[in-house]
Amino acid sequence: MKYVSVNVHGRVQGVGFRSFTQHRAVECNITGWVKNEDDGSVHIEAQGNEEDMSRFLELIKKGPSRFANVRDMDVIALDEGLKFKAFKIKY
């Protein structure tokens, strides 16, 4: 299992990014959560197998629509430990 912390920068708030992320996570068998940050970025904590995680991160780079613009993604691999049961949107 791979566990990552991701900060997504660009035009990622107000464009359906959290919902998009949740749908892609379910599609890719990824568990964890996503939330908006005060600085305009989106933060994701995600866990899944290596292949699913790579696919998920590639989809996240593309964003949900032509209105979103992912400028940069900071992906940090964390020590495995948390076991999420689903992928949720945090508010």
- What are the CA-CA distances from residue 56 to residues 12, 26, 38, 39 (Å)? 16, 9, 24, 23
Q: How many residues does the chain have?
A: 91
Examine the residue annotation and report whether 29 is marked as an active-site residue of this protein: no
Examine the residue annotation and report whether 55 is marked as an active-site residue of this protein: no
Question: What is the distance between the alpha carbons of residues 54 and 13, in angstroms, rounded to a whole number?
Answer: 23
Check 7, 11, 29, 36 and give the catalytic one: 36
| Cβ-proximal residues to 25 (8 Å cutoff; 6+ apart), any chain | 31, 32, 34, 46, 56, 87
Check 18, 24, 55, 66 and give the catalytic one: 18
Q: Which residues are catalytic?
A: 18, 36
